[in-house]
Structure 1
Amino acid sequence: MQQIKGTSGREGLVPNQPGWNPNQQWGPDQGPGGGWYGPPPAQQTPPARKRRKWPFIAIPLAVLLLVLAGRVFYVHVINPPKKIATSTSEAAPPPSFPMPTTSERKPPEPGEPVPCQERHPNGYQCFPDDFNPEAVMDSVAAEGWKCLREGETDEGGFTVKAPRRCEGKDNVNQPYTIYGSIEYKRFSNLPDGKLMDFTISVSTSAKASRGEHTTREDPPKALLRAVDVTYKHIWQGKPELLKEATDAFEQIKPGCMSPAGQTFEGVSATTPSGYEINCSGGTSIASGDVVTHGQSLTISAARPK
């Protein structure tokens, strides 16, 4: 088995030869050299609807969805953006120094977040239009990950809700299987909405009857490997933003590896350009002799202060 070294020096997850095995049994002697693998992009076709494979396939993919749903619930329900006072009765007493009005807000610099809706400059923030999420997913697909579009059915029988999601998995040189995915979301889920965030999710799944085992300490390690494959594609063509995002991820990495990084709130850092990097998790499922743990990394525009 041959594995490729990633750009960060960690054991890489990139297939090095064609020959994807359509058989869904992903043993260490199948697939192109181990590591993350999926069908070569040229061979990808919309998958036919499959019966759900319980529990060993469906549960890990369900955990990926639950990790993402938990973070979305926290951001949008538990801790939504605070409303900015607009009337005299709501406003606090004026300070002794002048405050800029909304119309005087400094326009964002190139590459910085922009309002998701121009009429709500203090509301949710989104990526500027020069970020192309489809190009990001195309680049991830070129790494050998299998990409699906909204409405298609994944290996576990679940319908893809995101505009596009790319998936990979790895069961080589560890006593569990890693399932990983990256997807993006647009504001209000509108086809023409601005790009709101990217989410990289992983789960580690083990079947005791196969002699496998996994703990809550495994998803953070798997997340590092998934980030090594996908992170650079999010910031392609933007080396300064990539450096900022890499530094921010290094800043939260210890917290990501700790119990704090396994909650729905998670741990976060904000880049100088205004992007929030959040590591969160908290989802574990046991069904029969299958145990699965999950964690995710979300890259989004930070809220205005």
Structure 2
Amino acid sequence: MDVLSDLLHRARARHTRVHQLIQRPPWSMAFAEPPALTVVAALDGPASVRLLEHPSAGPVPLASGDIALVRGSAGRYVLADGPGTAPQVLIRDGTKQVLDAGAVSERSLGPRTYGDGLPGATTLLHGAYGFRGAAGEHLLGLLPPLAVVPGREGSTAALRLLAAETARQEPGQEAVLNRLLDLVLVLALRAWCTRPDAELPSWPAALGVPAVGEAIRLLHAEPARRWTVAELAARVGRSRTVFAAQFTRAVGEPPLAHLTAWRMVLAADLLRDTEATVAAVARQVGYRDAFAFSTAFKRARGLTPSDWRVRHGS
């Protein structure tokens, strides 16, 4: 499994929701207390997204086929037909508060589909994700507060299929919608992470660097292995000295420091989600000595493994 797929699997997206808006301009909706990640896709007509906590960024237009990924940590945001339309409704915790008499239509046009459905309407897909644990935080760390991915042929086809399924109500519909929304998310993340101008943490960008990317994949695939820099260098066909310098330059930290950081992500979720002892968790992430593991974990998370479990455990 590649690194991004593994991270998505470990993040275990939950509480996914998807709705469709078919609304003639002018329309505008403000969202308070957003989920961990929101996926917005423009299908037809004008649309824009604006982060209210980041006014200097300004509204970002969405062309047909564009996908916007909004991090929950970015705070409140507005979806509208254009930057000049003031918010008409406020969505907070699933409740709609009308702010303007000419508010967005609440008329149901079908399952999970709302608006007026009139000619010239904007069609927009809105999906919400919750992520769990340290892996979810790690995944969200790949993204800025707002990432907009231009429409592509592959993603456009997936969006059309998701829109069609959103308006259906058949057995197994939720499972179909969840998987299609996952597909759209993966396509958007992949497109974002491969953009040459994307502002990424060093390690995802380094996945495309020869030898370094392969080493990262090896470390993530076998985090409990007792890796050495010499073994990693041999596996990717480099001398130890050249490999260590290349990895550190590309990732921003030495190979074993990167391995330790990934182990702490895995350990945090094992402590949160399982009843395994601290010693057992230590062994699962590559530490034979529970004391050494506890020291490394406290350095990374600011709490001992036992205290972390008490504070964050399910």
TM-score category (smaller protein): under 0.3
Query: Greater CA radius of gyration, 1 or 2?
Result: 2
TM-score (norm 2): 0.21
TM-score (norm 1): 0.21
Higher relative contact order (CA 8 A, sep 6+): 1
